[in-house]
């Protein structure tokens, strides 16, 4: 792979509020982990790594008014992003050409856990309801500095920021962007402090990764962002790289929802993929910044993974988590910055508090060591076995020689992408297309999904602990895989706006009403957003690429974008893309109170859709599927834009159609997100008329409901229309336009939150 340049970085954590303070702490061996000071919790016994600033102090530094709606996650992210943008010389005027990809899991939980009971019973603090979800925090961080070209949010627990790095790199490799700012932010909250405590993996003493006496982790908080840039862009701007992103890998352990496998299969695969992409040998790695949480399970598993890959010659290894605490979703980018500092200044970060070797484990670096480094692996592993590794290299490494084998990025027309299958569970008949002839109609503003019998998909023992969203995801995924004719897929990529909100609600309710003791670990285990994607991988024994996106109404679209990029570039040949959200009665009323759902005649529901895609290198080749399987349709164009103006939208539509060899005349129908929300629907009508003239408009949310991932159901509906060669009359916005015209080309236009737009082109 042609290296991607890192032209800027910013970091804030328990050991410093910028790179200079961070470097001094790493070189001097100064830990930032200590007694709790800022988080209001009953558990004073656990040491943590807190950023040494109050929210008010961060607002003051950033010039934000006290009354502004912010979260601690967002404030820390702003501090780190400010340094990264300044470091790379990116002014506000350049941001409309720059992408932003952030990782978080906690999001605005620090405020939600304070005001949860108010959300339920009063009007107080309802303005913070809209600040809860992960995408809102990302938008707060980005909007403080200006308007970015696009943005999305990854939520894969402790590998979130590392996976943000991977998406940004793939966008640059495929020519979709020249500059992408990537990383993550995560604050401490009572919710996840108590969650980790319920799992009994917090150590009341300073953590000791890879030590025989290790007894758990210390939690931390912080944020870090890297500026990834193509070589051509950096030369054009006249900036010098600080390091190179020369490889990366992601794999799924597919073993357990929280525990790592004994042999470290996922970690081994992720590190191996990073080396393969960089085309370097294991012997060339000079240092590994390990995930190294200090839990008995992780350190044993990671040690085995390193020994499998490196044999008897494991490079110098250390975990830097005793410096900062485990910063969870932000750890991948924070520790990537640590690795860059090590590359730049020629030293090995030490593994604090280590004294006794663990059985059959590795011996970490414990003494300050100066060493010239060329290649550094940085690991970040999350719940559900979501394992990622990024390979960072010194800028002294020679540039690859231009030649016929060099990967120069994929053309947007390098592969034909087929939709092999699509299955849904929603307000309509489950796992069926009966809605096309006999749709179920509702008058209620909120309806839960019609569920099938799950006995065929999960055992009774498993089903007892699974929330409904998990059962639906497993059922639609297994049915979609069966219908595709594939035995497995190369990637499982999921979009979810709120994740397992039922379990989140149960844990938050107990925390708010019963206090911080005797909380159930099952609720916490299933509250993380990537529980869905990882469970599908565990159920289907899939070790491939695994990612989860959680960014408001483009959550599904972001997952589709990831698959689109990797299929186009040849990185994968098949993918299962899912869109899954559930909605409880309580949470529906909370969202309605916050003005986020249920306006006017809008019907809110739940979505579960799983879609299998496969690529062929040339249009005339058959997709990689069973010969008896007929694809539903083709995906021939896709793009996401953030806060686009009308002229930008018109240009994007023209380019999208042109890349597929089409014009607007070739498009038969426009699928919209019209939902019964009058303000939103009026905007749709005006925009679509300007963009598409008198093209017939279709809708689907009146049948399938509104949710953060309902665009996945729109994709499913459009694919079925192309497959059957007909559009049911019930889908037409204007009943007078209903016709028997056979659809050949459908454009999906999703803009339901007023900020993010996705354009998806499907063909028969």
Q: Among all residues, which ones are annotated catalytic?
A: 158, 291, 326
Pairing of strands 491-495, 574-581: parallel
DSSP-assigned letters across all residues of 168-219? HHHHHHTTS-SEEEEEEEE---HHHHHHHHHTT-B-SS---TTBTT---B-B
64/57 Cα distance (integer angstroms): 10
Listed in sequence order, the DSSP H helices in 380-467 are 460-465
Q: What are phi and psi of 400, to 5 degrees?
A: -60, 145
321 burial type by CB count under 10 A (0-12 exposed, 13-18 middle, 19+ buried): buried
Pairwise CA distance, residues 735 & 311, whole Å: 68
- How close are the terminal C-alpha atoms of the chain, in Å? 34
Question: Nearest-CA neighbor of 95 among 47, 144, 54, 133?
Answer: 144
What are the tokens at 414?
Answer: 């390098």
Q: Give me the residues paired with residue 287 across strands.
A: 376
Q: Which helix (H) or strand (E) holds 159?
A: none
Neighbouring residues of 125: CB distance < 8 A, sequence distance ≥ 6: 111, 114, 115, 118, 119
Please name every residue paired with 735 in a beta bridge, in sequence order, or none if there are none. Answer: none
Q: Which residue do the tokens 């919209």 mark?
A: 672
Write down the residue that tokens 């191996």 correspond to: 272
Tally of CB atoms within 10 A around 374: 16
Count, residues in the chain:
764
Q: How far apart, in Å, are the Cα atoms of 220 and each of 20, 421, 513, 541, 634?
A: 20, 42, 25, 32, 45
How is residue 586 written in tokens?
């309580």
d(CA 658, CA 648) in angstroms, rounded, equals 15
Contact 229, 7 (CB under 8 A): yes
361 CB-near residues (< 8 Å, 6+ apart): 210, 212, 299, 300, 303
Q: Tell me, what DSSP letter sits at residue 720?
A: H
- Two structure tokens written together for 386: 């979501």
CA 204 to chain centre: 31
d(CA 614, CA 484): 9
643 phi, psi to nearest 5 deg: 50, 50
User: What is the C-alpha to C-alpha distance for residues 575 and 561, in angstroms, rounded to an integer?
Assistant: 11
Q: With CA atoms as reference, report the closest residue to 159 among 27, 313, 329, 406.
A: 329
- Exposure class string for 195-233: b at 16+ Cβ within 10 A, else e: bbbbbebbbeeebbbbbeebbbbbbbbbbbbbbbbbbeb
Look up residue 22 and give its DSSP letter: H
Between CA 22 and CA 60, with CA 218 as vertex, the angle to 5 degrees is: 50
Q: Which residue has the tokens 């402090």?
A: 193
- Hey, which residues does 390 pair with through a beta bridge? 248, 378
- Angle, CA 566 vertex, CA 560 and CA 571 arms, to 5°: 155
Q: Which residues contact 741 (CB under 8 A, 6 or more apart)?
A: 668, 727
């Amino acid at each position: 792979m042609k290296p991607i340049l890192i032209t800027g970085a910013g970091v804030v954590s328990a050991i410093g509020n910028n790179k200079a303070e961070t470097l001094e702490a790493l070189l001097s061996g100064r830990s930032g982990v200590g007694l709790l000071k800022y988080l209001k919790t009953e558990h004073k016994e656990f040491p943590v790594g807190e950023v040494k600033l109050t929210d008010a102090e961060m607002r003051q530094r950033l010039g934000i008014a006290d009354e502004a709606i912010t979260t601690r996650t967002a404030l820390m992210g702003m501090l780190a992003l400010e340094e990264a943008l300044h470091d790379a010389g990116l002014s506000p005027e350049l941001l409309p050409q720059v992408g932003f990809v952030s990782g978080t899991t906690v999001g605005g939980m620090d405020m939600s856990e304070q005001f949860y009971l108010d959300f339920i019973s009063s009007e107080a603090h309802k303005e913070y309801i809209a600040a809860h979800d992960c995408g809102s925090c990302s938008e707060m961080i980005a909007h403080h500095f200006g308007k970015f070209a696009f943005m999305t949010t990854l939520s894969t627990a402790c590998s979130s920021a590392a996976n943000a790095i991977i998406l940004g790199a793939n966008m640059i490799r495929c020519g979709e962007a020249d500059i992408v700012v990537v990383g993550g932010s995560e604050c401490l909250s009572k919710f996840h402090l108590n969650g980790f405590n319920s799992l009994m993996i917090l150590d009341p003493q300073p953590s000791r990764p890879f030590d025989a006496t290790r007894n758990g982790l210390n939690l931390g908080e912080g944020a870090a962002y890297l500026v990834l840039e193509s070589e051509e862009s950096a030369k054009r701007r006249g900036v010098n790289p600080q390091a190179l992103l020369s490889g990366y890998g992601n794999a799924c352990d597919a073993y357990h929802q929280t525990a790592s496998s004994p042999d470290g299969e996922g970690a081994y695969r992720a590190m191996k993929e990073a080396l393969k992409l960089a085309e370097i040998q294991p012997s060339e790695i000079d240092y590994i910044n390990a995930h190294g949480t200090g839990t008995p399970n992780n350190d044993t598993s990671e040690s085995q993974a390193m020994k499998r890959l490196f044999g008897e010659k494991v490079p110098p290894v250390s975990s830097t988590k005793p410096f900062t605490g485990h910063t969870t979703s932000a750890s991948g980018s924070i520790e990537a910055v640590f690795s860059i500092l090590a590359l730049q200044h020629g030293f090995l970060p030490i593994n604090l508090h280590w004294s006794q070797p663990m059985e059959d484990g590795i011996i970490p670096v414990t003494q300050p060591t100066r060493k010239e480094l060329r290649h550094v692996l940085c690991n970040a592993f999350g719940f559900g076995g979501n394992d990622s590794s990024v390979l960072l290299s010194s800028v002294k490494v020679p540039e690859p020689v231009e030649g016929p084998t060099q990967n120069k990025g994929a053309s947007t027309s390098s592969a034909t992408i087929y939709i092999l299958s699509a299955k849904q569970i929603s307000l309509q008949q489950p796992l069926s297309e009966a809605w096309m002839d006999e749709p179920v109609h509702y008058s209620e503003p909120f309806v839960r999904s019609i569920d099938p019998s799950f006995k065929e998909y999960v055992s009774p023992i498993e089903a007892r602990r699974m929330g409904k969203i998990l059962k639906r995801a497993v059922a639609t995924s297994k049915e979609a895989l069966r219908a595709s004719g594939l035995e497995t897929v190369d990637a499982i990529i999921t979009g979810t706006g709120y994740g397992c909100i039922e379990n989140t609600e149960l844990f938050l309710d107990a925390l708010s009403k019963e206090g911080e003791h005797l909380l159930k670990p099952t609720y916490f285990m299933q509250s993380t957003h990537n529980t869905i994607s990882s469970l599908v991988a565990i159920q289907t024994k899939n070790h491939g690429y695994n990612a989860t996106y959680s960014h408001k109404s483009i959550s599904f679209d972001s997952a589709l974008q990831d698959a689109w990029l990797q299929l186009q570039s040849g990185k994968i040949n098949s993918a299962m893309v899912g869109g899954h959200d559930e909605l409880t009665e309580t949470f529906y009323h909370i969202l309605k109170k916050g003005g986020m759902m249920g306006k006017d005649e809008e019907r809110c529901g739940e979505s579960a859709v799983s879609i299998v895609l496969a690529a062929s290198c040339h249009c005339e080749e058959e997709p990689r599927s069973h010969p008896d399987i007929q694809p539903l349709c083709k995906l021939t164009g896709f793009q996401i834009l953030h806060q686009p103006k009308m002229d930008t939208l018109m240009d994007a539509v023209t380019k999208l159609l042109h890349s597929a060899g089409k014009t607007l005349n070739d498009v038969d129908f426009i699928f919209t997100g019209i939902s019964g929300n009058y303000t939103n629907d009026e905007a749709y009508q005006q925009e679509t008329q300007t963009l598409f003239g008198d093209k017939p408009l279709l809708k689907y949310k009146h049948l399938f409901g509104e949710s953060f991932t309902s665009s996945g159901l729109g994709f499913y509906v459009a694919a079925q229309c192309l497959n059957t060669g007909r559009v049911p009359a019930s889908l037409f916005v204007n009943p007078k336009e209903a016709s028997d015209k056979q659809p050949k080309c459908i454009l999906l236009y999703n803009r339901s939150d007023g900020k993010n737009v996705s354009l998806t082109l499907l063909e028969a």
